[in-house]
Amino acid sequence: MDLPLGTSRRHLEDLPAAPAGLLPAAEPTLSLAVVGAHLSGLPLNGQLTERGASLLEATTTAPRYRLHALPGTTPPKPGLVRVAAGNAGHAIEVEVWALPQRAVGSFLALIPPPLGLGSIELADGRWVHGFLCESHALAGAPDVSAFGGWRAYAASLRGAAA
């Protein structure tokens, strides 16, 4: 049925399109890979959600990383480091979040040393920003890469305590 609209008697296809720029644009975001305490359901995830971040996907890094349990951190946190070419690495579980660009500064201010943000290669070859660790902090930090991610490592600790 092709009925006119309201009292104007005009048809929908006769109406002009909205001028460009009048429709709200999507808010710009930063794709951010998280690997430890910021994962969904873990203690620091609220630092993402309270800034309007939304989960895009769960995936893994390219198999070029190592994950270490950083001693003396509260809540417990891992340190992710990329290995040099030719060294054995692992694919590590990550979540990629869309963090509004307006919130990046306030989020960055919450990240304590030796952690920081850098570039991380995902399993599919994409590069995103994400948590990395300064290499000096790895002295005495157990390598937990074989667990494939922070959740599996934390679960192994709970199982050992039972």
pLDDT band, residue 26 (cuts 50/70/90): confident
Q: Is the pTM of this model over 0.75?
A: yes
The average pLDDT across 39-52 equals 98
Residue 45 has what DSSP assignment?
T
pLDDT of residue 160: 72
State how beta strands 77-82 and 93-100 pair. Answer: unpaired
The three-class DSSP label of residue 78 is strand
Name the residue with higher pLDDT: 87 or 2.
87
In this predicted model, what pLDDT tens digit does every residue of 90-144 receive, in sequence order? Answer: 999 999 999 999 999 999 999 999 999 999 999 999 999 999 999 999 999 999 9
Domains and CATH numbers, the chain: 27-161 (3.10.490.10)
Higher pLDDT, 58 or 158: 58
| Contact status, residue 123 vs residue 71, Cβ threshold 8 Å | no
Strand partners for 63: none
Mean pLDDT value of segment 43-48: 98
Report phi then psi at 42, rounded to 5: -95, 165
